[in-house]
Amino acid sequence: MTLLNRQIIFTSMMFFCLGAFVALADVDPVVVEVHYQNGVKFYKRGLYKKAVREFENTLSLDPQNSEATDYLKKAKSAAENEQVKDARESKNNDIHGLYEEGKGLYLKRDYKAAIDVFNQVLAVKPIDDFASFYKERSEIMIAKQLAREKKVDDKKTGYEDRARIKEEKIKEKKLKELDKQEMLKKRAEIGQERRKAREEKAQAVPAAPSAREERQRIKQEKIDQAKQARELRQEEKKALADEKNAKNEEAKKKKSEIKAQKEEKKQEQINIKELFLKGVEEYGRKEYENAIATFEAVIEAESNGRKLYSSSAERLMAKTRMKMKG
């Protein structure tokens, strides 16, 4: 037997023993103290409801007991808090159960049922991250399911449409083939009738050049005339080309002659220059007679052309003669 049970039994016996005494006499301070002490013990052990009863009994016997009044207030407040706590724990247990149920339905992909469960949670607890998250995920998964179903339906519809279009094309192709065969058959019949008509006409009328043969003859004549004209143009073109080539050859020949003449004159000028320089060297060596002869040769060489060195040769020749006289 626990200490608490012994105290409860003792308290009950005290109440039983004191009941008759209280009925016969005035309030006994001992009884008041017993109720008070029991209330304090219950309060300290967390048995707030029992403590409230004991303190109420104490105050019913001794309304002026301030300590019992204070403890009664504390016990009532603690009892209310405990009741609120119990209610909250019960509520949390219920919400936890709904959590598990909703998550299980979500994992089973029963998203509509999961949304209903999480709506119950949010009705009790409007701000709940867990329930809001799984509700949102369930709505997203439902939307994805609907999108997949729609895609499958669209795909199925597309297959059916393509099959129908393909079948229509095949039918259309068959109809075109039949029309083509019918047209070829009619053409063959018409061609056969025309050949038969031509044969009958040929047998009835004497042979004569047909319009087609006449057209071919005229065409051939035109071709021959065009060929002759083309050959004539080619001959004229060739004659012009030969004439042009002859002129070009003559022009080249003249250019060559002019170039040769220029080269010859250039060479003569080079020779005259060398002859003039020779005379200058002889003048410098004081070979005056030789220098005079050389300068005279320079003047004679330039007598029929450009006179580049003649004036210089005449001046030096005059100086040479003066030096010979001096």
DSSP one-letter string for 15-68 = HHHHHHHHHHSS--HHHHHHHHHHHHHHHHTT-HHHHHHHHHHHHHH-TT-HHH
What is the CATH code of the structural domain delimited by 3-108? 1.25.40
Separation CA 169–CA 172 (nearest Å): 5
Contact criterion met (CB below 8 Å) for 263 and 269:
no
Q: Is the pLDDT of residue 5 over 70?
A: no
Query: What is the reported pLDDT for 7?
Result: 57
- Predicted pLDDT at 17: 46
Residue 62, phi then psi, degrees to nearest 5: -140, 80
Apex CA 20: angle with CA 19 and CA 25, to 5°? 100
With 60 as the cut, is the pLDDT of residue 147 above it? Answer: yes
DSSP type of residue 285 = T
**Domain locations in the chain?**
3-108, 263-325
- Percent of the chain at pLDDT exceeding 70: 87
> Which residues contact residue 308 at a Cβ distance below 8 angstroms, ignoring those fewer than 6 apart?
269, 272, 273, 302
For 254-298, how does the pLDDT look when each residue is reduced to its tens digit (9 = 90+)?
A: 888 888 777 777 777 778 888 889 999 988 888 888 888 998 888
What is the mean pLDDT of the segment spanning 188-203?
83
* pLDDT > 90 in the chain, percent: 10
At 236, the amino acid letter reads E
DSSP label at 305? S
Please, which pLDDT band fits residue 37 given cuts at 50, 70 and 90? Answer: very high
Residue 28: pLDDT over 70: yes
**Mean pLDDT value of segment 9-27:** 49
Residue 306's pLDDT is what?
A: 74
**More confidently predicted of 146 and 88:** 146
Do 314 and 302 form a contact (C-beta atoms < 8 A)? no
- Residue with tokens 């059916």, as numbered in its chain: 160
Rounded CA gap, 90 and 285, in Å? Answer: 147
Rounded CA separation 168/176 (Å) = 12
Quick check: 223 pLDDT over 90?
yes
Task: Give 37 or 307, the one with higher predicted confidence.
Answer: 37
What letter does residue 306 receive in the DSSP assignment?
A: -
* Average pLDDT, integer, range 144-160: 86
Measured CA angle at 264 (ends 258, 270), to 5 deg? 140
pLDDT, the chain, mean: 82
> Mind giving me the DSSP string for 196-256?
HHHHHHHHHS-----HHHHHHHHHHHHHHHHHHHHHHHHHHHHHHHHHHHHHHHHHHHHHH
